[in-house]
Chain A
Amino acid sequence: MPPFPVVLRFIRCPAFVTIRNVAWEERGGYRYYYRSVRRGARVVKEYVGTGPVAEATAQLDEENRRKRDEEAKAWEEERRRMEALEAPIEELCDAAETLARAALLAAGYRQHNRGEWRMRRGDRQP
């Protein structure tokens, strides 16, 4: 038996608390379960408990962490897929913009202060 009765605190973490890390500590032949949680700017270590209920809590935390990792991985994949969709459109825009600018310059126009295109004096095409 542990040297003191099983104490369980923060078994259900509030939504604003992010569990950063979980750890078992062993002292005097007993294992004690701790969590590192972020509270605002600080990360604090919180004692959760010991015994079978702490084991179950640790398992639940592990499951939640795995779910979060899977969600993060899925999001990363989605982000990459979206970026891949943007790339060819950007290439098309780049080519079209370059050709349009080249055509305007070749026709005797120049861009005034990165805005309006105006005909250069004495450069009108026949």
Chain B
Amino acid sequence: MATDSRDPEKRQHESPTLERAAVLKELKALIVRAQDGDEGAVPRLREILRARPELAREFVDPAVQTERSMIETYAGGDGLAVRETLPHTLEAFRAKLEGESPSPLEQLLVERIAATWLQLHYFETIYAQNMDKLTIPQSEFHQKRIDRAHRRHLSAVKTLAQIRKMGPAVQINIAEKQINTAG
């Protein structure tokens, strides 16, 4: 499978979004190779993660932006209360999940849980508010969308639990300075 074999340093001249997308693409290809039993893929994975210990953190900011735009959509034109209270609710939610000194990967995974939770609640609210006006196909469309959001949320929670269960070794590889997850 083709991978982007250029040095991470060389790729840093590209725009951050494109560069991150290129790294992700390479990681995905390496993951497939590693899962298929290709022994050469794992050292390359380690090399990339060592060269970019802050990679996970780089995805946190776009995630926070996504969350903000979701809150705006949720609040609508005059939802001042939602706009004011929801960020605090999410902040408390995140703080509880992150713990005292989360690694960049943990922060990203927690951000993902917060975003999927928010999305699930938004879809459920929209459905509940419009239930009596919807046709059967429209109702099915909403329910499928809620199911997808629910699956995404569960998967997000499961991944964080998995990373925490595996303990410090995983954290060392994603950000060498952080050895702080519960073992």
Q: Does B162 contact A100, Cβ atoms closer than 8 Å?
A: yes
* Chain A residues, Cβ within 8 Å of B24: 94-95, 98
* Chain B residues, Cβ within 8 Å of A123: 42
* Chain A residues, Cβ within 8 Å of B173: 103, 106-107, 125
Of A95, A100, A105, which one neighbours B34 at CB under 8 angstroms? A105
> Distance in Å from the Cβ of B124 to the closest Cβ of chain A?
13
* Chain A residues, Cβ within 8 Å of B126: 82
Q: Return the chain B residue nearest A114 by Cβ.
A: B35
Distance, CA A82 to CA B127, complexed state (A): 12
Return the CB mask of B26-65 against A: 1 if under 8 Å, else 0.
0110110011000001100110110000011001001100
* Chain B residues, Cβ within 8 Å of A104: 162-163, 166, 170
> Distance in Å from the Cβ of B25 to the closest Cβ of chain A?
9
> Distance in Å from the Cβ of A19 to the closest Cβ of chain B?
16
Is the CB of B66 closer than 8 A to any CB of chain A? Answer: yes
Distance, CA A108 to CA B42, complexed state (A): 8
* Chain A residues, Cβ within 8 Å of B174: 99, 102-103, 106
Return the CB mask of A106-122 against B: 1 if under 8 Å, else 0.
11111100000100000
Q: Does A99 contact B105, Cβ atoms closer than 8 Å?
A: yes
Given contacts A89-B119, A92-B63, A104-B162, contact A99 B56 (CB under 8 A): yes
Distance, CA A98 to CA B28, complexed state (A): 6
* Chain A residues, Cβ within 8 Å of B63: 92
Distance, CA A103 to CA B66, complexed state (A): 24
Binding site for A on B (CB under 8 A): 20, 24, 27-28, 30-31, 34-35, 41-42, 45-46, 48-49, 55-56, 59, 62-63, 66, 69-70, 73, 105, 108-109, 111-112, 115-116, 119, 122-123, 126, 138, 141, 145, 148-149, 152, 155-156, 159, 162-163, 166, 169-174
Question: What 4 new A-B contacts, CB under 8 Å, besides A92-B62, A100-B162?
Answer: A88-B69, A89-B66, A99-B56, A103-B171
